[in-house]
Amino acid sequence: MEVLLIAPEPGGTSIQARPPSPPRGLLELASWLIQNGQEAAVLDGNLCGNDHILKVIQSTSPRIVGISANAFTYPEGVRIGKEAKRMGSRVVFGGPWATCRYREIYTRQAGVACDAVVRGTGHLALQSFIIGKKAPNLYDGSSKRSSRESLRPEFSIIFGILPWEEYFKAHQISKLPRPPYGHRPWSTVAYIGCPWWAGRKHPDYKPNPGGRHGPCVFCSIGGTISQTNPSDLWDEIMVARDSLDIDSVIDWSDSLTPRYLTEILSNRPKSCDDITWQIYLNAGTVTEELIPLLRSLRVTRVFCGFESGSDAMLRTLNKRENVADNWRAFKLLTDAHIEIEANFVLGAPGETRTTLEETVRAAKQLADYKGERLVWCSGSPLQALPGAPIFAKVMRLAGATRLRQSDFANPGDLPYLREVYLRHFCPGTGPDDLRWAMTELEKHSVLSNVFGKPL
């Protein structure tokens, strides 16, 4: 085999249960390579297990192994990379963790678990790696820095469906499973990036009424915006419906804007009138004018990061919305019979037991609105991920204590950073209070996990 692209299964058990959601980045890369005459396959450890991946590497000896790494899958990626190198493959890392920690990864793993690291969009850099050429965002130690390339070449996603079929065959899936609650969804990420990162000149940028600019402090997705052409998006959905019998779309884009949603709706082919959607929205974009658009698009569920029930915490997080905005968005969606998944980020700098209590009360107020629980309500402790504004602050503190920034190549250090963070930024609270708030918030969920059994 020429190129094997791998999404490792994360180690540990802290990951939320979700229906199989194909690793879109890798499938796009495989699709791009195939359209350019190369042979490529994708294996997903979340479906087949990492040990199976190791067996496939042993039996097929791919010339190139590409490993996608986020903060939670990187350690397992290193384990797979080491084995692949031992078997004689050339190994390249990419993905969100690799993008942020490329130099540290290379310094520690070159020759052991990898040969190069790609930052940002992978298509052209991966192709360069395969043919032994250089690319600005392909780091192999020969230059001091690597750029964070943001080029996502235009290519037809219809052809891109090919590795999807192969992907499902490789994992012995003939149809996408239907979760016990909801529809049989197709996963898309139509709008990559966020206007809050992109800056004032971007057409979707919305000023912060509080006067501050920049992204939410915990957000690491970066600013480059890449928006799928809406008619290509519908083409992809139609192919997925015909070949995999999907009846809905989950779009994971963090910031689908009203402008882009309007474009999606106005490009909808007649034959897709019955497709339902589950999307992420910022509470601030949910207005009375948006509701008819959401209904026409048949949006059945909205994931909304309300983040906190305390205005002070929302300001610290640099959210555009205050508690009243969140409440207004919630009522508009609920009155329109759209289900809501409410998420809260706990432990922002300055969080105390009192602000956590405000959040728990706010969630109860939402759940009590129509006398029903929320379809999903959860809180997660703020995690300082590389690339997020809060990360630099935590690293400064960590550097002053035990870790140097340059050492930080191992996501195993994240719990340590959390501890540093809580001690310095949240002296008024601690892990016990956070656990208490998480348990209280979950009580307002209908489901025990997002697509799992009702409680």
96 binds ligand B12 (CB under 6 A): yes
Nearest-approach distance from CB 387 to ligand SF4, in angstroms: 10
Residues 270-289: x where in contact with ligand SF4 by CB under 6 A, - otherwise, as a string: ------------x-------
**Shorter beta-carbon distance to ligand B12: residue 129 or 234:** 129
Site for ligand B12 in 301-330 (CB under 6 A): none
Residue count, binding to ligand SF4 (CB under 6 A): 10
3-state helix, strand and coil shares in percent for the chain, rounded to the nearest 5: 45, 15, 40
Nearest-approach distance from CB 66 to ligand B12, in angstroms: 3
98 binds ligand SF4 (CB under 6 A): no
**How are beta strands 90-94 and 116-118 bridged, if at all?**
parallel
**Shorter beta-carbon distance to ligand SF4: residue 189 or 397:** 189
190 binds ligand SF4 (CB under 6 A): no
Site for ligand B12 in 185-204 (CB under 6 A): 189, 192
Neighbours of 255 (CB within 10 A): 20
Which of 41, 376, 386, 447 binds ligand B12 (CB under 6 A)? It is 386
| Rg for the chain, CA atoms, rounded | 22
Site for ligand B12 in 209-228 (CB under 6 A): 220-221
> What residue 16 binds from ligand B12, ligand SF4, none (CB within 5 to 8 A, per partner kind)?
ligand B12
**Contact criterion met (CB below 8 Å) for 152 and 123:** yes
15 binds ligand B12 (CB under 6 A): yes
**Contact criterion met (CB below 8 Å) for 150 and 143:** no
Which of 3, 40, 47, 92 binds ligand B12 (CB under 6 A)? It is 92
Nearest-approach distance from CB 329 to ligand B12, in angstroms: 20
215 binds ligand SF4 (CB under 6 A): yes
Query: What b/e string do you get for 72-109 counting C-beta neighbours within 10 Å, with b at 16 or more?
Result: bbbbbbbbbbebbbebebbbbbbbbbbbbbbbbbbeeb
What residue type is 179 in one-letter code? Answer: P
216 binds ligand SF4 (CB under 6 A): yes
385 binds ligand B12 (CB under 6 A): yes
Cα 64 from Cα 270, distance rounded (Å): 43
Q: In 3-state terms, what secondary structure has residue 86?
A: helix
CB-based contacts of 308: which residues, under 8 Å, 6+ apart?
A: 314, 317, 319, 323, 344, 345, 346, 348, 355, 358, 359, 362
Nearest-approach distance from CB 331 to ligand B12, in angstroms: 27
Nearest-approach distance from CB 361 to ligand B12, in angstroms: 25
Neighbours of 420 (CB within 10 A): 21
390 binds ligand SF4 (CB under 6 A): no
Structure tokens at 342: 């409410």
Q: In 3-state terms, what secondary structure has residue 455?
A: coil
Cα 138 from Cα 346, distance rounded (Å): 36
255 binds ligand SF4 (CB under 6 A): yes
254 binds ligand SF4 (CB under 6 A): yes
Mark the segment that binds ligand B12 (CB under 6 A) among 89-97, 230-238, 359-367, 429-437: 89-97
Cα 361 from Cα 237, distance rounded (Å): 40
Nearest to 441 by CA among 363, 353, 382, 374: 363
155 binds ligand B12 (CB under 6 A): no
Q: In 3-state terms, what secondary structure has residue 19?
A: coil
**DSSP assignment letter at 447:** B
Cα 440 from Cα 346, distance rounded (Å): 12
**Contact criterion met (CB below 8 Å) for 355 and 434:** no
Residue count, binding to ligand B12 (CB under 6 A): 40
Length, in residues, of the chain: 455
Nearest-approach distance from CB 19 to ligand B12, in angstroms: 8
**Shorter beta-carbon distance to ligand B12: residue 150 or 296:** 150
Residues 48-87: x where in contact with ligand B12 by CB under 6 A, - otherwise, as a string: ------------------xxx-xxxx--------------
Nearest to 188 by CA among 274, 299, 278: 278
**Shorter beta-carbon distance to ligand SF4: residue 183 or 320:** 320
Angle at 132 between CA 65 and CA 120, to 5 degrees: 65
Mark the segment that binds ligand B12 (CB under 6 A) among 88-96, 168-176, 204-212, 322-330: 88-96
**Shorter beta-carbon distance to ligand SF4: residue 196 or 391:** 196
Binding interface with ligand SF4 (CB under 6 A): 194, 196-197, 215-216, 219, 221, 254-255, 282
Binding interface with ligand B12 (CB under 6 A): 10, 15-16, 18, 21, 23-26, 28-29, 46, 66-68, 70-73, 92, 94-97, 100, 118, 121-123, 125-126, 152, 189, 192, 220-221, 252, 254, 385-386
